[in-house]
Structure 1
Amino acid sequence: MANMGSRKHLKRFKAPKTWPIHKKEEKWTTKTSAGPHALDKSLPLVMVLRDILNVAENAREAKIILNNGDVLVDGTARKDHRFPVGFMDVISIPKLNKYYRLIPDYKGRLVLNEIEEKDASFKLVSIENKTTIKGGKTQLNLHDGRNVIIEEDDYKTSDVLLLNVPEQNISDSIKFEVGSLALITGGKHTGEIGKIEEINITKSSKSNTVLIATEEGSFLTLAKYVFVVGTDKPVISLLGDD
Protein backbone atom coordinates (compact mmCIF):
# COMPACT_ATOMS: atom_id res chain seq x y z
CA MET A 1 0.00 0.00 0.00
CA ALA A 2 2.93 2.35 0.60
CA ASN A 3 3.93 1.99 -3.04
CA MET A 4 0.37 2.52 -4.14
CA GLY A 5 0.02 5.58 -1.94
CA SER A 6 3.01 7.25 -3.51
CA ARG A 7 1.82 6.74 -7.07
CA LYS A 8 -1.95 6.72 -7.28
CA HIS A 9 -3.17 7.70 -3.85
CA LEU A 10 -2.74 10.65 -1.55
CA LYS A 11 -3.24 10.93 2.19
CA ARG A 12 -6.30 13.09 2.71
CA PHE A 13 -4.64 15.41 5.20
CA LYS A 14 -2.05 16.18 2.51
CA ALA A 15 -4.67 16.94 -0.13
CA PRO A 16 -4.58 20.48 -1.60
CA LYS A 17 -6.71 23.12 0.15
CA THR A 18 -8.48 23.60 -3.18
CA TRP A 19 -10.06 20.13 -2.89
CA PRO A 20 -13.60 20.27 -1.43
CA ILE A 21 -13.33 17.04 0.61
CA HIS A 22 -13.47 16.06 4.28
CA LYS A 23 -9.93 15.24 5.27
CA LYS A 24 -10.68 13.22 8.42
CA GLU A 25 -13.29 10.76 7.16
CA GLU A 26 -10.86 8.36 5.47
CA LYS A 27 -7.10 8.04 5.26
CA TRP A 28 -6.60 7.98 1.48
CA THR A 29 -7.95 9.74 -1.57
CA THR A 30 -7.11 9.47 -5.27
CA LYS A 31 -4.28 11.46 -6.81
CA THR A 32 -4.77 12.99 -10.26
CA SER A 33 -2.95 11.62 -13.28
CA ALA A 34 -0.31 13.75 -14.94
CA GLY A 35 -2.13 16.16 -17.23
CA PRO A 36 -2.78 19.76 -18.24
CA HIS A 37 -3.48 20.99 -14.69
CA ALA A 38 -1.30 20.95 -11.58
CA LEU A 39 -2.34 18.86 -8.56
CA ASP A 40 -3.52 21.87 -6.55
CA LYS A 41 -5.43 23.30 -9.50
CA SER A 42 -7.44 20.22 -10.45
CA LEU A 43 -9.67 17.43 -9.14
CA PRO A 44 -9.59 13.74 -10.16
CA LEU A 45 -12.72 12.70 -12.05
CA VAL A 46 -13.49 9.95 -9.54
CA MET A 47 -13.75 12.58 -6.78
CA VAL A 48 -16.12 14.64 -8.91
CA LEU A 49 -18.47 11.70 -9.48
CA ARG A 50 -18.26 10.06 -6.05
CA ASP A 51 -17.61 12.82 -3.50
CA ILE A 52 -19.10 15.92 -5.10
CA LEU A 53 -21.93 14.95 -7.46
CA ASN A 54 -22.77 11.67 -5.66
CA VAL A 55 -23.61 9.92 -8.93
CA ALA A 56 -21.41 6.99 -7.87
CA GLU A 57 -21.24 5.38 -4.43
CA ASN A 58 -17.65 4.25 -4.78
CA ALA A 59 -14.66 4.22 -7.11
CA ARG A 60 -15.82 1.01 -8.80
CA GLU A 61 -19.15 2.57 -9.82
CA ALA A 62 -17.37 5.71 -10.98
CA LYS A 63 -15.05 3.66 -13.18
CA ILE A 64 -18.01 1.87 -14.80
CA ILE A 65 -19.69 5.20 -15.59
CA LEU A 66 -16.46 6.54 -17.09
CA ASN A 67 -15.73 3.37 -19.08
CA ASN A 68 -19.17 3.69 -20.64
CA GLY A 69 -18.16 7.10 -21.98
CA ASP A 70 -20.92 8.81 -20.02
CA VAL A 71 -18.80 11.72 -18.77
CA LEU A 72 -17.37 14.38 -21.07
CA VAL A 73 -14.70 16.91 -20.14
CA ASP A 74 -14.66 19.82 -22.59
CA GLY A 75 -16.78 17.76 -24.96
CA THR A 76 -14.50 14.70 -24.98
CA ALA A 77 -15.28 11.41 -23.20
CA ARG A 78 -12.69 10.73 -20.47
CA LYS A 79 -12.32 7.20 -19.11
CA ASP A 80 -9.38 7.66 -16.74
CA HIS A 81 -10.84 7.97 -13.21
CA ARG A 82 -7.77 9.98 -12.20
CA PHE A 83 -8.05 12.45 -15.10
CA PRO A 84 -7.42 16.00 -13.77
CA VAL A 85 -10.35 18.38 -14.19
CA GLY A 86 -9.22 21.97 -13.73
CA PHE A 87 -10.24 25.61 -13.67
CA MET A 88 -12.86 26.50 -16.30
CA ASP A 89 -13.16 22.89 -17.53
CA VAL A 90 -16.69 21.85 -18.51
CA ILE A 91 -18.03 18.52 -17.23
CA SER A 92 -21.05 17.09 -19.05
CA ILE A 93 -23.15 14.06 -18.12
CA PRO A 94 -25.69 14.01 -21.00
CA LYS A 95 -27.61 10.96 -19.71
CA LEU A 96 -28.48 12.92 -16.56
CA ASN A 97 -28.83 16.22 -18.46
CA LYS A 98 -26.29 17.74 -16.07
CA TYR A 99 -23.56 20.22 -17.02
CA TYR A 100 -20.99 21.99 -14.84
CA ARG A 101 -18.10 24.46 -15.05
CA LEU A 102 -15.24 24.25 -12.52
CA ILE A 103 -14.52 27.58 -10.81
CA PRO A 104 -13.13 28.70 -7.43
CA ASP A 105 -15.40 29.63 -4.52
CA TYR A 106 -14.70 32.38 -1.98
CA LYS A 107 -12.61 29.99 0.12
CA GLY A 108 -10.37 29.10 -2.82
CA ARG A 109 -11.84 25.62 -3.25
CA LEU A 110 -12.59 24.27 -6.71
CA VAL A 111 -16.35 23.81 -7.05
CA LEU A 112 -18.75 22.72 -9.76
CA ASN A 113 -21.09 25.48 -10.90
CA GLU A 114 -24.11 23.98 -12.69
CA ILE A 115 -24.73 25.48 -16.13
CA GLU A 116 -27.23 25.06 -18.95
CA GLU A 117 -26.58 22.62 -21.78
CA LYS A 118 -26.03 25.42 -24.31
CA ASP A 119 -23.24 26.84 -22.15
CA ALA A 120 -21.42 23.50 -22.07
CA SER A 121 -20.42 23.90 -25.72
CA PHE A 122 -17.70 26.44 -24.93
CA LYS A 123 -15.07 27.19 -22.30
CA LEU A 124 -12.95 30.17 -21.35
CA VAL A 125 -9.16 29.88 -21.69
CA SER A 126 -6.53 32.50 -20.96
CA ILE A 127 -3.47 33.02 -23.15
CA GLU A 128 -0.35 32.27 -21.08
CA ASN A 129 2.14 32.96 -23.86
CA LYS A 130 2.55 32.95 -27.63
CA THR A 131 5.10 31.58 -30.07
CA THR A 132 5.67 32.22 -33.76
CA ILE A 133 5.91 29.01 -35.74
CA LYS A 134 6.76 28.00 -39.29
CA GLY A 135 4.89 29.92 -41.97
CA GLY A 136 4.51 33.02 -39.83
CA LYS A 137 1.59 31.54 -37.91
CA THR A 138 1.12 32.06 -34.17
CA GLN A 139 0.65 29.36 -31.57
CA LEU A 140 -1.37 30.43 -28.54
CA ASN A 141 -0.42 28.49 -25.41
CA LEU A 142 -3.45 28.35 -23.12
CA HIS A 143 -3.89 27.92 -19.37
CA ASP A 144 -5.42 24.45 -19.68
CA GLY A 145 -2.43 23.00 -21.51
CA ARG A 146 -3.84 23.14 -25.01
CA ASN A 147 -2.36 25.04 -27.96
CA VAL A 148 -4.26 26.78 -30.74
CA ILE A 149 -2.64 27.84 -34.02
CA ILE A 150 -3.97 30.98 -35.68
CA GLU A 151 -3.23 32.79 -38.94
CA GLU A 152 -3.61 36.37 -37.71
CA ASP A 153 -2.62 37.29 -34.19
CA ASP A 154 -5.04 39.79 -32.67
CA TYR A 155 -4.43 38.72 -29.09
CA LYS A 156 -2.22 39.58 -26.15
CA THR A 157 -1.06 37.54 -23.19
CA SER A 158 -3.80 37.28 -20.51
CA ASP A 159 -6.59 37.86 -23.04
CA VAL A 160 -9.28 35.21 -22.66
CA LEU A 161 -10.73 33.21 -25.56
CA LEU A 162 -14.18 31.68 -25.87
CA LEU A 163 -13.25 28.30 -27.27
CA ASN A 164 -15.85 25.95 -28.73
CA VAL A 165 -15.28 22.42 -27.43
CA PRO A 166 -14.31 19.88 -28.50
CA GLU A 167 -13.69 21.57 -31.90
CA GLN A 168 -11.31 24.23 -30.46
CA ASN A 169 -12.63 27.01 -32.68
CA ILE A 170 -12.31 30.53 -31.28
CA SER A 171 -15.77 32.13 -31.26
CA ASP A 172 -14.93 35.32 -29.36
CA SER A 173 -12.41 36.90 -27.00
CA ILE A 174 -12.22 39.17 -23.96
CA LYS A 175 -9.40 41.69 -23.68
CA PHE A 176 -7.26 41.94 -20.58
CA GLU A 177 -7.67 45.69 -20.28
CA VAL A 178 -9.07 48.48 -18.15
CA GLY A 179 -12.87 48.21 -18.02
CA SER A 180 -13.08 44.42 -18.36
CA LEU A 181 -14.77 42.31 -15.69
CA ALA A 182 -12.52 39.81 -13.95
CA LEU A 183 -12.78 36.76 -11.72
CA ILE A 184 -10.03 36.58 -9.10
CA THR A 185 -8.48 33.12 -9.03
CA GLY A 186 -5.95 33.38 -6.19
CA GLY A 187 -4.98 35.30 -3.07
CA LYS A 188 -7.32 36.55 -0.35
CA HIS A 189 -9.86 37.86 -2.89
CA THR A 190 -10.33 34.48 -4.63
CA GLY A 191 -13.79 34.06 -6.12
CA GLU A 192 -14.58 37.78 -6.19
CA ILE A 193 -15.73 39.60 -9.33
CA GLY A 194 -14.72 43.15 -10.15
CA LYS A 195 -13.82 45.59 -12.90
CA ILE A 196 -10.22 46.26 -13.90
CA GLU A 197 -9.45 49.85 -12.88
CA GLU A 198 -5.71 49.92 -13.48
CA ILE A 199 -2.97 47.58 -14.76
CA ASN A 200 0.47 48.19 -13.31
CA ILE A 201 3.35 46.82 -15.38
CA THR A 202 6.63 46.56 -13.49
CA LYS A 203 10.00 46.53 -15.22
CA SER A 204 11.68 44.76 -12.30
CA SER A 205 11.47 41.17 -11.15
CA LYS A 206 8.37 42.03 -9.14
CA SER A 207 4.98 40.80 -10.34
CA ASN A 208 2.59 42.98 -12.30
CA THR A 209 -0.44 44.09 -10.30
CA VAL A 210 -4.02 45.02 -11.11
CA LEU A 211 -6.40 47.36 -9.28
CA ILE A 212 -9.87 45.82 -9.11
CA ALA A 213 -13.03 47.79 -8.33
CA THR A 214 -16.01 46.10 -6.67
CA GLU A 215 -19.21 47.34 -5.02
CA GLU A 216 -17.45 47.02 -1.65
CA GLY A 217 -14.42 49.02 -2.75
CA SER A 218 -11.14 48.57 -4.63
CA PHE A 219 -8.21 46.24 -3.98
CA LEU A 220 -4.84 45.43 -5.52
CA THR A 221 -4.05 41.88 -6.62
CA LEU A 222 -1.41 40.11 -8.68
CA ALA A 223 -2.01 40.13 -12.43
CA LYS A 224 -1.65 36.33 -12.57
CA TYR A 225 -4.79 36.04 -10.39
CA VAL A 226 -6.93 38.13 -12.76
CA PHE A 227 -9.02 36.17 -15.28
CA VAL A 228 -11.24 38.36 -17.47
CA VAL A 229 -14.79 37.04 -17.93
CA GLY A 230 -16.62 39.81 -19.76
CA THR A 231 -17.09 43.54 -20.33
CA ASP A 232 -20.54 44.75 -19.24
CA LYS A 233 -21.42 41.41 -17.66
CA PRO A 234 -19.79 37.95 -17.34
CA VAL A 235 -20.18 35.70 -20.40
CA ILE A 236 -20.55 32.68 -18.10
CA SER A 237 -22.70 32.05 -15.03
CA LEU A 238 -20.82 32.37 -11.76
CA LEU A 239 -21.48 31.45 -8.13
CA GLY A 240 -24.42 33.36 -6.70
CA ASP A 241 -26.04 33.94 -10.11
CA ASP A 242 -29.74 33.19 -10.29
Structure 2
Amino acid sequence: ITPEEAMYKLCKVRKIFVGTKGIPHLVTHDAHTIRYPDPLIKVNDTIQIDLDTGKITDFIKFDTGNLCMVTRGANLGRIGVITNRERHPGSFNVVHVKDANGNSFATWLSNIFVIGKGNKPWISLPRGKGIRLTIAEERDKRLAAKQSSG
Protein backbone atom coordinates (compact mmCIF):
# COMPACT_ATOMS: atom_id res chain seq x y z
CA ILE A 1 0.00 0.00 0.00
CA THR A 2 1.06 3.59 -0.58
CA PRO A 3 2.04 5.98 2.25
CA GLU A 4 -1.13 8.05 1.59
CA GLU A 5 -3.24 4.91 1.86
CA ALA A 6 -1.61 4.07 5.20
CA MET A 7 -3.04 7.31 6.64
CA TYR A 8 -6.65 6.09 6.59
CA LYS A 9 -8.76 2.96 6.94
CA LEU A 10 -12.17 1.90 5.68
CA CYS A 11 -14.80 0.81 8.20
CA LYS A 12 -18.26 -0.66 7.67
CA VAL A 13 -21.04 0.99 9.68
CA ARG A 14 -22.73 -1.62 11.90
CA LYS A 15 -25.04 0.48 14.07
CA ILE A 16 -26.31 4.05 14.41
CA PHE A 17 -28.07 5.20 17.57
CA VAL A 18 -28.84 8.27 19.64
CA GLY A 19 -27.03 8.28 22.98
CA THR A 20 -27.43 10.34 26.13
CA LYS A 21 -28.47 13.98 25.71
CA GLY A 22 -29.50 13.26 22.11
CA ILE A 23 -25.97 12.78 20.76
CA PRO A 24 -25.92 10.60 17.61
CA HIS A 25 -23.35 7.78 17.62
CA LEU A 26 -22.06 5.47 14.91
CA VAL A 27 -20.43 2.06 15.57
CA THR A 28 -18.20 0.39 12.94
CA HIS A 29 -17.28 -3.25 12.28
CA ASP A 30 -14.06 -2.85 14.31
CA ALA A 31 -15.84 -1.27 17.34
CA HIS A 32 -14.91 2.36 16.61
CA THR A 33 -17.61 4.58 18.13
CA ILE A 34 -17.84 8.01 16.52
CA ARG A 35 -20.00 10.84 17.89
CA TYR A 36 -21.83 13.33 15.66
CA PRO A 37 -21.48 11.47 12.32
CA ASP A 38 -22.79 12.91 9.04
CA PRO A 39 -26.60 12.42 9.06
CA LEU A 40 -26.45 10.97 5.52
CA ILE A 41 -24.42 7.96 6.74
CA LYS A 42 -26.58 4.86 7.29
CA VAL A 43 -25.98 1.23 8.36
CA ASN A 44 -23.93 -0.86 5.82
CA ASP A 45 -22.26 2.27 4.37
CA THR A 46 -18.46 2.45 4.44
CA ILE A 47 -16.65 5.34 6.11
CA GLN A 48 -13.06 6.47 5.64
CA ILE A 49 -11.41 7.21 9.00
CA ASP A 50 -8.27 9.33 9.30
CA LEU A 51 -5.99 7.30 11.59
CA ASP A 52 -4.31 10.39 13.08
CA THR A 53 -7.45 12.26 14.15
CA GLY A 54 -10.00 9.42 14.28
CA LYS A 55 -12.45 11.58 12.31
CA ILE A 56 -14.56 10.60 9.29
CA THR A 57 -13.06 12.10 6.12
CA ASP A 58 -15.44 10.58 3.54
CA PHE A 59 -18.04 7.85 3.09
CA ILE A 60 -19.48 5.52 0.44
CA LYS A 61 -23.19 4.68 0.37
CA PHE A 62 -24.21 1.01 0.14
CA ASP A 63 -25.77 1.19 -3.31
CA THR A 64 -25.96 -0.69 -6.60
CA GLY A 65 -23.06 0.08 -8.92
CA ASN A 66 -20.47 0.37 -6.13
CA LEU A 67 -17.42 -1.88 -5.79
CA CYS A 68 -17.51 -4.33 -2.89
CA MET A 69 -15.52 -7.15 -1.31
CA VAL A 70 -16.99 -10.28 0.26
CA THR A 71 -15.65 -10.71 3.80
CA ARG A 72 -17.30 -13.99 4.86
CA GLY A 73 -18.93 -17.09 3.41
CA ALA A 74 -18.28 -19.28 0.37
CA ASN A 75 -17.34 -16.28 -1.80
CA LEU A 76 -14.76 -14.94 0.68
CA GLY A 77 -12.25 -12.55 -0.92
CA ARG A 78 -14.16 -12.00 -4.14
CA ILE A 79 -14.48 -8.44 -5.44
CA GLY A 80 -17.21 -7.13 -7.72
CA VAL A 81 -19.87 -4.53 -8.40
CA ILE A 82 -23.20 -4.66 -6.55
CA THR A 83 -25.94 -5.31 -9.12
CA ASN A 84 -29.01 -5.99 -6.99
CA ARG A 85 -30.22 -6.14 -3.39
CA GLU A 86 -33.09 -8.41 -2.33
CA ARG A 87 -34.84 -7.52 0.91
CA HIS A 88 -36.24 -10.43 2.94
CA PRO A 89 -37.94 -9.08 6.09
CA GLY A 90 -37.30 -11.36 9.05
CA SER A 91 -34.56 -13.23 7.21
CA PHE A 92 -31.21 -12.59 5.53
CA ASN A 93 -31.09 -9.88 2.86
CA VAL A 94 -29.32 -11.09 -0.29
CA VAL A 95 -26.96 -9.04 -2.47
CA HIS A 96 -26.10 -9.97 -6.06
CA VAL A 97 -22.56 -9.13 -7.19
CA LYS A 98 -20.87 -9.26 -10.61
CA ASP A 99 -17.06 -9.58 -10.77
CA ALA A 100 -14.64 -8.22 -13.40
CA ASN A 101 -14.89 -11.42 -15.49
CA GLY A 102 -18.67 -11.08 -15.70
CA ASN A 103 -19.43 -13.92 -13.27
CA SER A 104 -22.40 -13.24 -11.00
CA PHE A 105 -22.82 -14.57 -7.48
CA ALA A 106 -25.05 -13.88 -4.49
CA THR A 107 -24.27 -13.58 -0.78
CA TRP A 108 -25.81 -12.25 2.41
CA LEU A 109 -25.80 -8.51 2.98
CA SER A 110 -23.81 -8.96 6.21
CA ASN A 111 -20.93 -10.48 4.19
CA ILE A 112 -20.50 -7.42 1.93
CA PHE A 113 -18.00 -4.57 2.51
CA VAL A 114 -18.18 -1.63 0.07
CA ILE A 115 -14.63 -0.60 -0.96
CA GLY A 116 -15.18 1.92 -3.74
CA LYS A 117 -17.50 4.27 -5.61
CA GLY A 118 -18.38 2.92 -9.04
CA ASN A 119 -15.49 0.79 -10.33
CA LYS A 120 -12.81 2.86 -8.54
CA PRO A 121 -11.52 1.17 -5.34
CA TRP A 122 -10.43 3.33 -2.37
CA ILE A 123 -7.88 0.71 -1.32
CA SER A 124 -5.23 -1.23 -3.24
CA LEU A 125 -6.58 -4.59 -4.36
CA PRO A 126 -4.83 -7.92 -3.73
CA ARG A 127 -3.05 -9.86 -6.47
CA GLY A 128 -5.66 -11.34 -8.82
CA LYS A 129 -8.05 -8.41 -8.21
CA GLY A 130 -10.48 -10.60 -6.24
CA ILE A 131 -11.44 -12.79 -9.21
CA ARG A 132 -12.02 -16.48 -8.45
CA LEU A 133 -10.61 -18.81 -11.09
CA THR A 134 -12.35 -22.05 -12.02
CA ILE A 135 -10.57 -25.28 -11.08
CA ALA A 136 -9.44 -25.79 -14.70
CA GLU A 137 -8.06 -22.22 -14.92
CA GLU A 138 -6.17 -22.71 -11.64
CA ARG A 139 -4.65 -25.96 -12.92
CA ASP A 140 -3.58 -24.36 -16.22
CA LYS A 141 -2.01 -21.42 -14.37
CA ARG A 142 -0.11 -23.77 -12.04
CA LEU A 143 1.13 -25.91 -14.95
CA ALA A 144 2.27 -22.81 -16.88
CA ALA A 145 4.20 -21.59 -13.83
CA LYS A 146 5.78 -25.03 -13.40
CA GLN A 147 6.80 -25.13 -17.09
CA SER A 148 8.40 -21.67 -16.96
CA SER A 149 10.36 -22.41 -13.76
CA GLY A 150 11.41 -25.96 -14.60
151 and 120 in structure 1: CA distance in 2 versus 1, 3 angstrom threshold: closer
| Aligned 8 A contact 2:26 2:37 in 1 | no
Total equivalences in the alignment: 127
Q: Is 1:210 aligned to 2:99, yes or no?
A: no
Query: What is residue 94 of structure 1 aligned with on the other side?
Result: none
**RMSD, aligned CA:** 1.6
Deviations 1:173-224 (A, max 9, x none): 01111111101111121111101111111112x2111000112411110111
Task: Give me the whole-angstrom Cα distance separating, in 2, the residues matched to 1:131 and 1:116.
Answer: 34
Closer/same/farther in 2, CA of residues 182 and 151 from structure 1, 3 Å limit: closer
Letter of the structure 2 residue corresponding to residue 210 of structure 1: V
Give the secondary structure class of the aligned counterpart of 1:224. Answer: helix
Query: What's the counterpart of residue 9 of structure 2?
Result: 123
For the 8 Å contact 1:229–1:235, the answer to whether it is kept is yes
Between 1 and 2, higher relative CO (CA 8 Å, sep ≥ 6) is seen in: 2
List per-residue Cα deviations over 1:51-72 (Å, max 9, x = no partner).
Answer: xxxxxxxxxxxxxxxxxxxxxx
Contact 1:132/1:139 (8 A) holds in 2: yes
Cross-structure match for 1:159 = 45
Match of 1:235 in 2: 122
Provide runs of 4+ in structure 1 moved above 6 Å.
none
Unpaired segments of 5 or more residues in structure 1?
1-114
Taking every aligned residue pair, what percent have the same amino acid on both sides? 28
> Per the alignment, in what secondary structure is the counterpart of residue 5 of structure 2?
helix
TM-score, length basis structure 1: 0.50
Asked whether the equivalents of residues 96 and 104 of structure 2 are also in contact (C-alpha less than 8 Å), the reply is yes
TM-score, normalization: structure 2?
0.79
**Contact 2:25-2:37 at 8 Å conserved across structures:** no
Partner of 2:138: none
Distance in 2 separating the partners of 1:212 and 1:226:
9
Contact residue 137 and residue 152 of structure 1 kept, 8 A: no
